[in-house]
Amino acid sequence: MTSTIKDVAAHAGFSIATVSRAINAPHTVNPVTLAKVREAIDALKFRPSPLGRQLRGERTRLIGVVLPTLANPVFAECLQGIDELASAQGFRLMLMTTQYDAQRERHAIETLRAQRVEGLILTVADADTHPLLDELDADGPLYVLMHNDTKRRPSVSVDNHRAAFDGVRMLIAHGHRRILMLAGTLAASDRARQRHAGYAQAMEQAGLTPAPALEVDFNAEALAPSVLAHLSTGPTRPTALFCSNDLLAMVVMRGLRRAHLRVPQDMSILGFDGLAMGELLAPPLASIGTPNGEIGRAAWQRLMARIGGDYAGASLGLALPHTLREGGTIAAIGGAPFSEAADQRLMPGPMRA
């Protein structure tokens, strides 16, 4: 009896969709999966219909991009970097956003797989333990993560832990001791968790006690009154705030002005992302800079290398360098101007992983 694609799928232990991709678009399938499917095809002497392969086998030249939001210019800058290279190489992009929601992430990935994208560039909530990424590792298509700082999967980012460590160390070198970190929901962003770990390490190495991150709504355009009261009142209120992204830092600056607190005279602010618009503020926003356009371009190049089978030997996680933009939102306390010498004295031991 003639074998069918259903028989091949059962023999190989994969879905019919995965076997179909292995036959019609093998460049989108994990090499281990592809080998197992081909073994099943040989064992069952399965012969796909030449006409069917001709109809289904044409490359889509379509790449899926999944981002949390475009409201944050960080992701728009990354997308622009991707689009520059995709257009030059004759690919089209299909974009979906998730609003930091796990269910929307699943829907986006499943939708793009149904569109037969040849690869995916993703930013997800938690790269290390994401079950959908495990599925992609097994069944394809190939992907590269962007801004997710992980060594377990193909990714391009900055070292979020080290970047936050360096930024908070700069605040400490300016004389600040009561430093609080503000972030969105930590469960929705592995980047925010890594940045808080860097904040905590910088505080501990300076002999200070780190505080839990103050979590606020990612999408809020204003601080809740309770949050603003916590930041602006009492003798032990923080003298400096480390915000997990620049947009949040801008929201905080506006809230502090409404509470009649001056930045940086009454409260210093440090952001994260290095958005160009931050330099247009008065005062210009101090920030930890990330090369967002380059992250997008590097993610594209890594994805093309994976699709082309030219990825062997490359490390899974690529960390691009970050920068510190001192800006005008940081003021020294107690006559402690920032200097490289003071900065080095704050680091008594080696950086911990």
Note the pLDDT tens digit of each residue in 36-82. Answer: 988 888 888 886 654 344 344 567 899 999 999 999 999 999 999 99
- For residues 52 and 66, membership in a common domain is answered with no
What is the number of structural domains in the chain?
3
One domain, residues 165 and 277: yes
Distance, CA of 140 to CA of 256 (rounded, Å): 48
User: Do 68 and 108 reside in the same domain of the chain?
Assistant: yes
- For residue 313, the model assigns a pLDDT of 56
Q: Are residues 121 and 210 in the same domain?
A: no
Whether residue 353 lies inside any domain: the answer is no
Contact 292, 272 (CB under 8 A): no
Is residue 351 assigned to a domain? no
> Tell me: the pLDDT tens digits for 126-136?
898 888 899 89
Q: How sure is the predictor about 140, in pLDDT bands with cuts at 50, 70 and 90?
A: confident
Considering the domain architecture, whether residues 18 and 103 belong to the same structural domain is answered as: no
Same domain, 77 and 114: yes
> Are the C-beta atoms of residues 47 and 14 closer than 8 Å to each other?
no
pLDDT at 335 (0 to 100): 57
Question: Residue 322 has what pLDDT?
Answer: 98
Asked if residue 335 and residue 209 are part of one domain, the reply reads yes
The reply to whether 114 and 70 lie within a common domain is yes
Q: Determine what percent of the chain is predicted with pLDDT higher than 70.
A: 90
Place of tokens 């600056």: 253
> Quick check: is 352 in a domain?
no
Residue at 24 is within a domain: yes
Are residues 93 and 234 part of one domain?
A: no
We report the CATH number of the domain holding residue 192 as 3.40.50.2300
72, amino acid identity: N
Q: Kindly give the residue spans of alpha helices, DSSP state H, lying in the chain.
A: 5-12, 16-24, 31-44, 50-56, 73-88, 102-114, 131-139, 160-173, 190-205, 225-232, 246-258, 292-307, 340-345
Q: Do residues 165 and 328 make contact, with C-beta atoms less than 8 angstroms apart?
A: no
Q: In what order do the strands lie in the sheet with 214-215?
A: 214-215, 179-183, 240-243, 268-273, 286-289, 323-325
Average pLDDT rounded to a whole number, residues 17-22: 82
Mean predicted confidence (pLDDT) in 87-115: 92
Establish if 145 belongs to a structural domain.
yes
Q: Quick: pLDDT tens for 178-235.
A: 999 999 888 888 999 999 999 999 999 999 999 999 999 877 788 888 898 888 887 8
pLDDT-derived band at 302, boundaries 50, 70, 90: very high
193/332 same-domain check: yes
How high does pLDDT run on average in the chain?
87
Domain that holds residue 98: 62-158+292-320
- 250-279: average pLDDT: 95
Assigned domain for 350 exists: no
Q: Give yes or no: residues 49 and 139 share one domain.
A: no
